[in-house]
């Protein structure tokens, strides 16, 4: 059952940061995979700490080999042992948990819901999704919304931005009057700015392509916005630097920080990392990254675990609905083939007896055909009904296989 569903990928659960930052799946990854024989649907999901490919394929072994190959090519290395794979209904359970924030670095974080939604919309627009993945992602998004509306999981959750700011605050002994440099003006930059403003830090926003957004953030939270060309000048005046861009390359090098000529606290929340890791060894530079943030989060999980426990029954309820739909989908080809076999039997009987009915009128012929179809329909009613019930119960495989064997069906 459900053998067509498959997911492969890696995340902060089991894959180190230096590997995660080398791999980011895109809609093009999904397009590449659906062009291969036997792979019918594909959705690529990329978040700050997760790169996954969801597939619907005829054979799990084929899907696994294709996905592993695509991920290894993106990473530029073999990923044996780092890739996590799931099949069947476990794929749905995993995606439901991801969308609800239960698999996030920060349990209950809300941004992942939007990231899953965008991944699904990309697949729709590119034509790489299909009936099974459409239903899977729609149900996952609904489940995630239910968890957030019916539990306190998001309200009690910390965010990567808040933990990043807290690390900086403790390293500096306070943020009031400190000059903070926020590199990146996206969603993480906005969350970081809000947290900094609440603690009295003066903020400078640095952005390359999104200068207008940086200007908007400076108006909302105070401070100023500067262009990326002014980064070196701003490093020489800052007390702390928080980076959160989506750049595929290093934004701040070891040499940049050495040239700043002053002690700095630097918190890098980007994947790939914005700051060259070797800068950690510079005198006066205290550099933190997502691995440090993850360790910090693991120290205080009790409130978020309570919210996650309340979310589990909601997700299981939603999962049962998806399982029933998928199981019914599994028996549909058998029901269709059974009905086609019945229609073929009627047509064969009518052809074989054609010469015996020379004296029948057209109306009588139609009546004979109707009687024959009625008899076949009556005979097939009970096995068809049992097939549908088996599908709705979530365990159709054995019954469907028996029907196919008894009636000699190829479906």
pLDDT at 150: 87
Beta strands in 110-253 (DSSP E): 179-183, 202-207, 224-227, 240-243
Contact (CB, 8 A) for 143 and 191: no
Same domain, yes or no: 175 and 219 = yes
- Neighbour-count burial of 349, counting CB atoms closer than 10 A to its CB (0-12 exposed, 13-18 middle, 19+ buried): middle
Structural domain that includes position 254: 160-298
pLDDT at 22: 82
Query: Which residue among 5, 10, 39, 48 is the active-site one?
Result: 48
Same domain, yes or no: 338 and 389 = yes
Same domain, yes or no: 251 and 210 = yes
Same domain, yes or no: 139 and 245 = no
Contact (CB, 8 A) for 64 and 8: yes
pLDDT at 302: 62
Asked if residue 310 is part of any domain, the answer here is no
Q: Which pTM value belongs to this model?
A: 0.66
Least Cα distance to 100 among 55, 38, 148 occurs for: 148
pLDDT at 360: 79
Give 395's DSSP letter. Answer: -
- Distance spanning both ends of the chain, measured CA to CA: 14
Same domain, yes or no: 193 and 96 = no
Same domain, yes or no: 255 and 235 = yes
Residue 29 CA to residue 27 CA, distance in Å, equals: 5
Asked if residue 63 is part of any domain, the answer here is yes
Same domain, yes or no: 151 and 168 = no
CATH of the domain at 200: 3.40.50.720
Same domain, yes or no: 170 and 67 = no
- Neighbour-count burial of 190, counting CB atoms closer than 10 A to its CB (0-12 exposed, 13-18 middle, 19+ buried): buried
Same domain, yes or no: 340 and 258 = no
Same domain, yes or no: 137 and 120 = yes
pLDDT at 51: 92
Tell which of 278, 298, 318 closes a domain.
298
Asked if residue 321 is part of any domain, the answer here is no
Q: How many domains does the chain divide into?
A: 3
pLDDT at 1: 42
pLDDT tens track for 279-313: 998 999 999 999 998 888 777 666 567 777 888 99
CA 305 centroid distance within chain: 21
Same domain, yes or no: 357 and 285 = no
Asked if residue 233 is part of any domain, the answer here is yes
Same domain, yes or no: 167 and 180 = yes
Asked if residue 388 is part of any domain, the answer here is yes
Asked if residue 311 is part of any domain, the answer here is no
Asked if residue 373 is part of any domain, the answer here is yes
Residue 48 annotated as catalytic = yes
63 token code pair? 């899907």
CATH of the domain at 131: 3.30.460.30
> From first to last of its 411 residues, what are the pLDDT tens digits of the chain?
445 899 999 998 888 888 888 888 899 999 999 999 889 999 999 987 899 999 999 887 888 889 988 998 888 777 767 888 999 899 999 999 999 989 888 787 778 898 999 999 999 999 999 999 999 999 999 999 999 888 877 665 567 888 899 899 999 999 988 999 999 888 888 888 888 888 888 887 777 667 788 888 888 888 888 888 889 999 999 999 999 888 888 999 999 999 999 999 999 999 889 999 999 989 999 999 999 988 887 776 665 677 778 889 999 999 988 988 887 776 767 777 778 888 888 888 888 888 777 777 888 888 888 888 888 888 878 877 777 776 666 554 567 777 777 777 764
Count of beta carbons in the 10 Å neighbourhood of residue 85: 15
Tell which of 107, 135, 156 closes a domain.
156
Tell which of 113, 135, 156 closes a domain.
156
Asked if residue 51 is part of any domain, the answer here is yes
């Amino acid at each position: 059952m459900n053998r067509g569903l498959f997911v492969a990928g890696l995340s902060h659960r089991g894959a180190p940061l230096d590997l995660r930052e080398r791999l980011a799946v895109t809609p093009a990854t999904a397009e590449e995979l659906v062009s291969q024989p036997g792979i019918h649907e594909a959705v690529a999901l990329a978040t700050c700490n997760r790169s996954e490919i969801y597939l619907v394929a005829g054979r799990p072994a084929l899907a696994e080999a294709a996905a592993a190959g695509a991920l290894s090519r993106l990473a530029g290395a073999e990923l044996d042992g780092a890739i996590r794979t799931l099949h069947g209904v476990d794929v749905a359970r995993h995606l439901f948990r991801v969308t609800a924030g239960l698999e996030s670095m920060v349990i209950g974080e809300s941004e992942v819901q939007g990231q899953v939604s965008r991944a699904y919309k990309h697949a729709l627009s590119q034509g790489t999704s299909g009936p099974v993945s459409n239903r899977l992602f729609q149900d996952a998004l609904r489940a995630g919304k239910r968890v957030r509306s019916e539990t306190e999981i998001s309200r009690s959750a910390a965010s990567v931005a808040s933990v990043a700011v807290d690390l900086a605050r403790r390293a500096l002994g306070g943020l009031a009057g400190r000059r903070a440099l926020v590199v990146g003006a996206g969603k993480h930059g906005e969350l970081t700015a809000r947290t900094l403003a609440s603690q009295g830090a003066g903020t400078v926003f640095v952005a390359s392509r999104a200068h207008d957004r940086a200007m908007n953030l400076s108006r909302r939270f105070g401070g100023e916005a500067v262009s990326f060309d002014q980064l070196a000048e701003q490093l020489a005046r800052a007390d702390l630097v928080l980076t959160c861009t989506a750049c595929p390359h290093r934004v701040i090098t070891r040499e940049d920080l050495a040239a700043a000529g002053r002690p700095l606290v630097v918190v890098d929340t980007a994947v790939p990392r914005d700051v060259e890791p070797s800068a950690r060894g510079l005198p006066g530079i205290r550099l933190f990254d997502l691995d440090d943030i993850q360790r910090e989060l693991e120290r205080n999980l009790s409130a978020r675990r309570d919210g996650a426990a309340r979310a589990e029954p909601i997700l299981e309820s939603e999962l049962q609905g998806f399982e029933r739909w998928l199981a019914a989908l599994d028996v549909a080809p058998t029901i269709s083939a059974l009905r086609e076999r019945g229609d073929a039997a009627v047509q064969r009987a009518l052809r074989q007896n054609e010469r015996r009915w020379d004296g029948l009128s057209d109306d009588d012929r139609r009546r004979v055909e109707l009687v024959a179809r009625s008899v076949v329909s009556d005979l097939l009613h009970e096995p068809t009904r049992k097939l549908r019930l088996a599908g709705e119960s979530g365990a159709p495989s054995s019954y469907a296989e028996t029907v196919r064997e008894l009636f000699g069906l190829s479906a």
